[in-house]
Structure 1
Amino acid sequence: MLALYDVTIARFVELFQTFKLLDYIGRNRIYSKMSVSSLKKLKYSTYTTVFFFAAGLTFLVSVIESDIAGKFMVCPICTIASGPFVLLSQSLRSLMSR
């Protein structure tokens, strides 16, 4: 249950950083230090989300011996949903470094 709370907090941090980044893009401040900081936080929170999903899945597999097919599918779906955040942050960060 604790991993679920951690994932939720990390997911909200991801969404908040994404909205901040979109705000910087809307104001034409994409090459500022604030947007780079937002990208770093977005990347770390995405990695944190994936880590906690993997840790929660490992815990479920080791503790629960009953049917866990539904719980098992939630983790990969949510992990794949975090992928675009990582790709966005990496591509924008590489554009800013040029």
Structure 2
Amino acid sequence: MNTQISQDQINLWKSKYKDIFKITVEDKVAYLKKPDRKILAAATAASTNNPMKFNEVILLNCWLGGDEEIKTEDSYFLGVSAKINELIEVKQAELEKL
């Protein structure tokens, strides 16, 4: 079942969360927001004993809509997991000794 999300819904999400991402795995689609510090902290803490938990926590907490099979079926989840790190934007910093 491919869940159709309207452009109006996407625009609403963009106004609320700014950056919205669409990940496609074969015929399944997930719409996600960018994770914030709280979500990243929870994902990092959850992954100490199980590295796969990082992706699961990010997916569940950033999920806006899409095909539920992505969250429940391993093959789709693993496909999305390969893209999860791309949701995390890190700006370059410079350190200067004075």
Is the shorter-chain TM-score for this pair beyond 0.5, marking a shared fold?
Answer: no
Q: Give the strand-richer structure, 1 or 2.
A: 2
Q: TM-score by structure 2 length? A: 0.28
Larger Rg: 1
When the two structures are superposed, what TM-score results if normalisation uses the length of structure 1? Answer: 0.28
The structure where helix makes up a greater share of residues is 1
